[in-house]
Amino acid sequence: MKTRGGGWTAIQKRIDGSVSFERNWADYEDGFGVPERDVWIGNEAIHQLTKGKNSSLYISITLVNGTTLYQLYNQFSISDEADKYQLFLAEPATGTLGDSMYKTRRSSADLSGMAFSTPDRKNDRCGYDCASYWRLGWWMNCCYDACLNGLWSVTGWSDPWYPLITSGTSVAGTMMLIRRH
């Protein structure tokens, strides 16, 4: 609650990899995990909390060396299940991570406007199934330059936040926080 003036709601948190994020559509829709440790609050809850596109998204990644980096998006929301929990972002106001979700270096990695995908629901724009290949749930284009739900601390978690963080082995924790304006 102390981050940037408080009032934030955690929608994703990973601190030790004790909860697997290799989950199906229903799990990501309903939410899973342990709030004090590793958790995904659920796509339906995120949709309800961000209706009206009047929320900010704060992302932080703590590296194994103790450094914490962040990115703040002034506008964040996701649609409902009928629209496959499509992600909406506006340009970030500030950050030390650099933007790897919106207007990225590669148009195939831009995530704004993308539907959520899981191993059992392919909603990406790729010729192959990104979520199945990477074994995770996330918003996919073809595939991504940013993904905080990869397999914990293994080489299979590629590009948590490309180009700054290219391997999950360097990540000690992640958080996604939202706050209404």
- Contact assessment for residue 19 and residue 180, using Cβ atoms and an 8 Å cutoff: no
The encoded tokens of residue 61 equal 């990644």
* DSSP string for 29-51: HH-EE-TTSSEE--HHHHHHHHT
**What fold, for 3-180?**
Gamma Fibrinogen; Chain A, domain 1 (3.90.215)
Q: Measure CA 49 to chain center.
A: 16
Which of these, 46, 52, 64, 48, lies nearest to 10 by C-alpha position?
46
- Give the start-to-end residue ranges of the domains of the chain: 3-180
Could you tell me the pTM of the whole model?
0.94
Name the H helices within 55-151.
Answer: 130-134
pLDDT in tens, 85-126: 999 998 766 899 998 898 766 677 789 999 999 999 999 999
The tens digit of pLDDT for each residue in 157-177 reads 888 999 999 999 999 999 999
Is 158 in a helix, a strand, or coil?
strand
Reduce the DSSP state of residue 109 to 3 states and report it.
Answer: helix
Distance, in Å, from the CA atom of 85 to the CA atom of 90, rounded to the nearest integer, reads 16
Specify the pLDDT at position 105.
64
